[in-house]
Chain A
Amino acid sequence: MRKYLTVFAIDWQNQFIYRLNFILWRLRNVLRVLMTYFLWTSIFSSQTSVFGYTREQMVAYLLLALFVNSLVASAPSNDNVGGEVSNGTLNNFLVKPIGYLRYWFTRDLSSKLLNIIFAIGEIALLYLLFRPSLYVSPSIMSILLLISAVIIYFLLGKLAISIVFWAPEQTWGLMFIVLVLMEMLTGLIFPLDLLPRWAFSALQFTPFPYLIYFPLISAIGRPVAFRFLLQSLFWVAILYYLVKKVWAKGLKTYSASGI
């Protein structure tokens, strides 16, 4: 455990090297929220309620989506793991007494902490600009859903990236598909219960709504059935099993060809 704490501490300091880079990354997150904000503001300019949501509820949802997204989707591992496997850097880890995926999960956590700190500042700023009626009521359920979302995102990314063992040039392609699906199906730009019932029900059979939508609505005090937490944990279990199996197979074929 101590070695991972050290990794956390070192990574925390590393993040302050390219400060401008980080600020630009945060700016990107805010820009995404702005597009959605103005789209919804235009929609609400001609009516007070859309699909059961008022303007205030929608703006509050979008601001909190920025926070949840900062927590869940900030994962430098997704940008680095594929490259490290394909160029042979993975060797350095295989000969050390440290779990490679645990090492990257620790670095992701460090990145998440910094992102959350910035996200709070950004939300405060956007709150002052838009003045939505924000209501947050975190419960054990919402915290568990958030933790589960963080793990699902990490595992989903690693599962997509694991293709690097067999087809190094296709790593980014599969991850890109995951990111595209995340863009629309996680609840980042609209609450998923706006969708027709059949579409919303179908989505529950995928890991995507458990990444942002369910943790978020639980945090704003809307009732979320216990079965959704179980379904989220079910995805954690499935993905953990798959990642473990696929990485074990991948490591057997790994030949450090990039070195």
Chain B
Amino acid sequence: MKIFKVTWRYFINSLQQNISGPTVFLMFFVSKFIRYTLFISFLYYLSSGVKLIGGYTWEQMLFFYLVFILVDTVVQMFFREVYRFRPLVISGGFDMVLAKPFPPLVRCLLGGPDYIDLGVLVILLAVVSYFTSVYIRPSFPQLLLFFLMLGNTLLVATAFHIMVLAIGILTLSVDHLIMVYRDLTALVRIPVGLFTEPVRSLITFVIPVGLMFTFPAQTLLGLLSWQIIAVSLTFGIAYLFLSLKFWSYALKQYSSASS
């Protein structure tokens, strides 16, 4: 219960920080809005010259992209503190985190959510809901599976960020690692099915960005078999377990050299 209370306090503190700078909030909102609008316009324009992109219709491509933005926005919003981890380790500030009676992993993962994306998220949820009800019209079981796969996506995203934190402890020279993750996720702005082997398998199960971003949309579109869904869920749990082990290992290696 204490963990929830303290985490809630972190959330409130971050929110107060965010709303103290409304101009920055507006700038990022506008930038993100421009980014998404431009890419959607690009996809739409492509559809005027190309009927099917790798077997997908324009509506399906758009849906994949909308789900991509949705997942990406939620993950970025909650795990923003990971982006500030390297300076924390280098400055010795991480010692203070370790010395406090609060799980350092929760502090480093959820200690500084970024509500700048909240505006985008609200609009996005409305657009995805509208698009799903008008163009996809899924059955109730499909909808349930979609939320299950979304949950699995968040599980894998958590595991991914834990790995990044652990590597951040082991090798201080990495400050681009989280950005590499961002670029890897940007790969699957288009469905993972458009990639050829071995890249497709690599980004589905080794670096599971395909599993994270494409599978929920495929589930809703009815394009994913139950076997693949079962494998994905098992993989998600295994990946989280491995990342927690890796975090424990990294913590044991931490030498507090910079403090």
Contact = CB atoms under 8 A, between A and B. Distances in A.
Interface of A: 18-21, 24-25, 27-28, 31-32, 34-35, 38-39, 41-43, 45-47, 50-51, 167, 169-170, 173-174, 176-177, 180-181, 183-185, 189-190, 194-196
Contacts of B27: 170, 173-174, 176-177
A180 B177 contact: no
Contacts of B51: 46
Given A170-B21, A195-B45, A183 B35 contact: yes
Interface string B171-190: 10111110110011011011
Contacts of B174: 20-21, 24
Contact of B34 (A18, A31, A177): A177
Nearest to B32: A180
Contact of B190 (A39, A174, A180, A183): A39
A176 B28 contact: yes
Name the prevailing secondary structure of the B interface residues.
helix
Interface stretch (B8-16, B71-79, B93-101, B192-200): B192-200
Interface string B44-79: 011001111110000000000000000000000000
A21 B90 CA distance: 15
- Band of interface residues on B: 35 or more
A184 B39 contact: yes
A194 to B, nearest CB: 8
Contacts of A51: 49
**Interface SS majority for chain A:** helix
Interface of B: 21, 23-24, 27-28, 30-32, 34-35, 38-39, 42, 45-46, 49-54, 171, 173-177, 179-180, 183-184, 186-187, 189-190, 194-196, 199
B50 A38 contact: no
22 contacts: A20-B171, A24-B174, A24-B180, A31-B180, A31-B184, A31-B186, A31-B187, A38-B194, A42-B190, A42-B194, A46-B52, A47-B50, A51-B49, A169-B21, A170-B23, A173-B23, A173-B24, A176-B27, A176-B31, A177-B27, A180-B31, A180-B38
Given A34-B187, A38-B190, A180-B31, A28 B179 contact: yes
A236 to B, nearest CB: 25
A28 B183 CA distance: 6
A33 B34 CA distance: 21
Nearest to B26: A173
A177 B23 contact: no
